[in-house]
Amino acid sequence: MSGAAAAILWRRVDRPGHESARVSPGAAGWELAGTAVFAHEGKACGFNYTIACDREWRTKSADVVGWLGADAVRVNALVGEDGRWRVDGVDIPEIAGCVDVDLNFSPSTNLLPIRRLDLAVGEEKEVRAAWLRFPSFRFEPLEQTYRRLAEGRYVYRSAGGRFERELDVDGNGFVLRYPGFWEVEV
C-alpha cells in the first residue's frame, strides 16, 4: 500500500450525500481527515473529522465536529499508551483496548484496519473497534472481521456476522464500493 498522501470522494447511494477524505503521513504516524455531508431523517448533516494514528496504524485520537440538523456535535477521543480511551475527558472502559476507531457514518475508517492488518490474500483477522454510533455519537465496542479475497477485495463482517459486505479497495486502502451505502466518484 502507498506511503504517500491520497484523497478520495464518495457518493452515498442510500440517501443524498457525499464525503471526501484524505490520508497523509506525518512525523508521528498517519492522519485521516475528511468531511461528510448527507441527509438524515429530513435533516442536513455535516461532519469534519480528523483521526491520528501511529506508524503502525493504531488510533491515537479522533475528533468529530459538525451538526445534525440544528444540533451541534463535538466528540474528542484520546487513546492512552495503556489502551484506555478518554472521550470528551471521560474514561470509557467498554472500549479499552480497541485499536481502531470506526465512524458509523463514514466508509473512510475501514482504511485503518486494512492498512494495519496488511492481510495476505486468503488471510482473515478479527479486530475490536471503538465504534462511534450515528446518530447517538456514543462509543461502543464492535467486533469486526476482515478477510482479504483478492488484491483489491475484502469481506467485512460485524455484529456477529449479521452484517456483511464485500468491499472493493484501492491501493491506498480506501474503500471504492461499499454496497448499499457508498461508491467512489473520484
Are the CB atoms for 182 and 19 separated by under 8 Å?
yes
Task: Give pTM, 2 decimals.
Answer: 0.96
Q: What secondary structure letter does DSSP report for 108? A: G
Whole-angstrom distance, CA of residue 158 vs CA of residue 124: 13
What are the pLDDT tens digits along the chain (186 aa)?
778 999 999 999 999 999 999 999 988 999 999 999 999 999 999 999 999 999 999 999 999 999 999 999 999 999 999 999 999 999 999 999 999 999 999 999 999 999 999 999 999 999 999 999 999 999 999 999 999 999 999 999 998 899 999 999 999 999 999 999 999 999
Cα 141 to Cα 25, 94, 125, 130, distances in angstroms: 27, 7, 16, 5
Peptide bond just before 135 cis, omega within 30 deg: yes
Whole-angstrom distance, CA of residue 164 vs CA of residue 156: 6
